[in-house]
A and B are shown apart, each in its own frame.
Chain A
Amino acid sequence: RRGLGVAAGPPSTRQLREAEEAAPVFQYVGKAAKRKDRVFVWGFSYSGALGVPSFVKPDAGWKKPRRIQPTPYRLETEEKISSAACGYGFTLLASNTRDITKVWGTGLNKDSQLGFQRSRRDQTKGYEYVLEPSPIPLPLEKPQQTRVLQVSCGRAHSLVLTDSEGVFTMGNNSYGQCGRKVVEDEIYSGSHLIHQLKEFDSEVVQVVCGQDHSLFRTRKGSVYACGWGADGQTGLGHYNITTVPTKLHGDIAGVNIIQVSSYGDCCLAVSDEGEVFGWGNSEYLQLASVTETTQVNVPRHLPFKIGKVKEAACGGTGNAVLTEEGNVFVWGYGILGKGPNLMETAVPEMIPPSLFGWSDFSPDIRVAHVRCGLSQFAALTNRGELFVWGKNLRGCLGTGRMEDQYFPWRVTVPGEVVDVACGVDHMVSLVRSFT
């Protein structure tokens, strides 16, 4: 308040400057503030796969059930999630912590693909739909030392990869996809059985689930498979089911494979020299570059002249690969990402980099990862932006619109997207905040 001897009127420059310097300084975040890791989900929610119970069963009077979440929605998790996988109506989230609880599951559990979730109403039965990320009890020998490296989900089964105790499988085993003998008339719902697989030539470094089969990649660069084989997706030279993980030969024998991918009935593998190998279903021209047959049961080398391949992703009817230069090539059938006119091709076609934000103004934008859902594609750039395209089944693209997307479209996520997992009708992304 001014004193009696001070003149009235607008404050002089000196007074303003002094007032400014005397003003208190607020600190919102310190110098050593770390960026936070978050999980965002979007897509069809009634299966419980999004992990938000209020979407399915509103807990307040004014809330309405939300069938579809069209834009990314933040999912609160107790721990930092390092790996996520989307199956057909369910999701697995894993953290590489040393705590007892390492894996959480949410969504469909009719085949115990999320392990046994004890129902609170009836202690003998399990939940068929899990609406919230719930811990999955793994039968670990050293639960406070083992870390979970990666999770993967298929149609009705899931795989959990640990660093020292092999692979744990759970869920439907009607075709041996869990790596154990098929038990006739086994009831999978409410089952406590989680099988452990350790018999591989070296440590398993990547697990991949196809629709009803499982692929394991070991440190030595070999690939093992088990499960349904009617389309040759096990790659073992026959069309029968396999109940024990068996090593693949064919064109990948002796080749150091650095990545495998599968989601439907077709499989792709990338070697350390950048060559692509494929086997499985070829009804949609996925392997038409080497053969006319619609089922290939032995891995075949795909002679593409597109440069050294870094990563491959298999969808239901379309495939995508990422080269070392950061270009994305797509082939197969369906919405491939080059406009409505390109619906099928047997030879990979490049998606122009300008669609991912590359321009004269920002020439160092590259695609860092590609992922596939059943009929969707997702690409992550080195700037942390997420681009999606494909069939927008029940809002799974996350663009906010319900129409199919014929070319790559940005998804607005409040943060830098580190990884994304695509499912049939939902997607999960692991995001780091900006500051």
Chain B
Amino acid sequence: LNAAPGRAPRQRVRFLPAPAPGGGGAVELVAARVPVLADHPLVRGPRFKKLKIGAGHRLDVKASGVFVLGVGHGNKLLTDLYNCHLTKVYIVGGLFGKATDDFSDTGNLVEKTTFDHITREKLERILAVIQGTNQKALLMYSNIDMKTQEAYELAVKGLIRPMEKCPPIITAVRCLQFALPEFQLEIHCLHETQQYLRKMVHEIGLELKSSAVCTQVRRTRDGVFTVDDALPRTQWNLQSIQEAIQNCQLKVETELERTLG
């Protein structure tokens, strides 16, 4: 960043003594535009000594996926995005038959159970109920009086969203793959932590009268940022970062305007 050509130094008008056109020893003041010496690179030093980088929603050590970072002035946008309360999408992989103490497959084994009675239908029923109860929680925490016409209209459009601190809520769940003993879910949620998602996988196992552990948690969307916008490890260089920031600027602005007004 420091090697890139910086801003041109500021100019200012100074009245400098110059020999008079007439000759002789007389000195008169002539206006001249000169660069400000304080802006000279040798005086100023490197432009960037530190960079303020802030992180968006947390991502576990064991999880992977989209992780939003803000650079410099972008940190202010980060707080605004947090207040927008947008949903995040995770792909969660699970394994039936085991139960561990930290709900993931690397923990200490607690119990092993059979799972041959589990079918995709049963799993989808459980997911439908999870969605249903979370839907209720969504409506309740959004702090709208249920008796108003406004609440009815928002409920019809599906735009009711809690706009303040609330416990984790899951807005949608779907089963993507089901091949005993493994299965994969797509979860849309708000205010969650990855450990909460792992606990949910464990609870789904319990509900199906078996047990389950979580093998993979991958965030595919965080608000407006999807996997397509994200930079993989090979692209962690200045050029790609700058391009990515520019590409996302418009999206972020429209979303903020829409939600926060």
Question: Chain A residues in contact with chain B, CB under 8 A?
Answer: 19-20, 23-33, 338-341, 352, 354-355, 357, 359, 361-362, 383-385, 403-407, 409-410, 412, 414, 416, 434-435
Nearest-neighbour CB distance to chain B for A389, whole angstroms, equals 10
Interface set, chain B 127-170, CB cutoff 8 A to A: 128-129, 131-133, 135-136, 139, 146-149, 151-153, 155-158
Nearest A-chain residue to B148, judged by Cβ: A340
Q: Are B125 and A26 neighbours in the complex by a CB distance under 8 Å?
A: no
Which of the residues B113, B122, B147, B151 comes within 8 Å of A28, measured between beta carbons?
B113
In the complex the two chains form, what is the Cα distance from A351 to B149 in whole Å? Answer: 14
Q: Are A412 and B136 neighbours in the complex by a CB distance under 8 Å?
A: yes
Which of the residues B98, B128, B148, B158 comes within 8 Å of A385, measured between beta carbons?
B128
Nearest-neighbour CB distance to chain B for A368, whole angstroms, equals 14
Q: A339-B149, A405-B146, A434-B207 are in contact. Are A31 and B155 (CB under 8 A)?
A: no
Q: Which residues of B contact A33 (CB under 8 A)?
A: 117, 209
In the complex the two chains form, what is the Cα distance from A19 to B100 in whole Å? Answer: 13
Nearest A-chain residue to B133, judged by Cβ: A412
Counting chain B CB atoms within 10 Å of each CB, which of A28, A341, A403 scores highest? Answer: A28
Q: Which 10 A-B pairs have the closest CB atoms?
A: A339-B152, A29-B209, A27-B114, A28-B209, A339-B149, A352-B156, A25-B112, A361-B172, A341-B149, A383-B128
Which of the residues A28, A357, A359, A403 comes within 8 Å of B132, measured between beta carbons?
A357
Nearest-neighbour CB distance to chain A for B220, whole angstroms, equals 14
Q: A26-B111, A405-B146 are in contact. Are A410 and B132 (CB under 8 A)?
A: yes
Q: Are B133 and A29 neighbours in the complex by a CB distance under 8 Å?
A: no
Q: Which residues of B contact A416 (CB under 8 A)?
A: 125
Q: A25-B113, A31-B117, A359-B158 are in contact. Are A434 and B122 (CB under 8 A)?
A: yes
Nearest-neighbour CB distance to chain A for B1, whole angstroms, equals 42
Instruction: Give per-residue flags for B158-192: 1 if the beta carbon is below 8 A from chain A beta carbons, else 0.
Output: 10000000000000101000000000000010000
Q: A384-B125, A407-B155, A412-B132 are in contact. Are A23 and B109 (CB under 8 A)?
A: yes
Question: Chain B residues in contact with chain A, CB under 8 A?
Answer: 97-98, 109, 111-114, 116-117, 122, 125-126, 128-129, 131-133, 135-136, 139, 146-149, 151-153, 155-158, 172, 174, 188, 207-210
Q: Which residues of A contact B147 (CB under 8 A)?
A: 340, 403-404, 406
Q: Are B125 and A340 neighbours in the complex by a CB distance under 8 Å?
A: no
Q: A26-B114, A435-B117, A435-B208 are in contact. Are A407 and B125 (CB under 8 A)?
A: no
Q: Are A27 and B113 neighbours in the complex by a CB distance under 8 Å?
A: yes
9 further interface pairs, Cβ-Cβ under 8 Å (given A33-B209, A338-B152): A20-B109, A25-B113, A26-B112, A340-B152, A383-B125, A406-B146, A407-B155, A409-B136, A434-B129
Nearest A-chain residue to B97, judged by Cβ: A25
In the complex the two chains form, what is the Cα distance from A312 to B249 in whole Å? Answer: 53
- Can you give 25 contacting A-B residue pairs, CB < 8 Å? A19-B109, A23-B111, A23-B112, A24-B112, A25-B112, A27-B113, A338-B152, A339-B151, A339-B153, A340-B149, A354-B158, A357-B135, A362-B172, A383-B125, A383-B128, A384-B125, A385-B132, A406-B147, A406-B152, A407-B155, A410-B132, A410-B136, A412-B136, A434-B207, A435-B209
Nearest B-chain residue to A35, judged by Cβ: B122
In the complex the two chains form, what is the Cα distance from A410 to B129 in whole Å? Answer: 10
Q: Are B135 and A29 neighbours in the complex by a CB distance under 8 Å?
A: no
Q: Are B116 and A31 neighbours in the complex by a CB distance under 8 Å?
A: yes
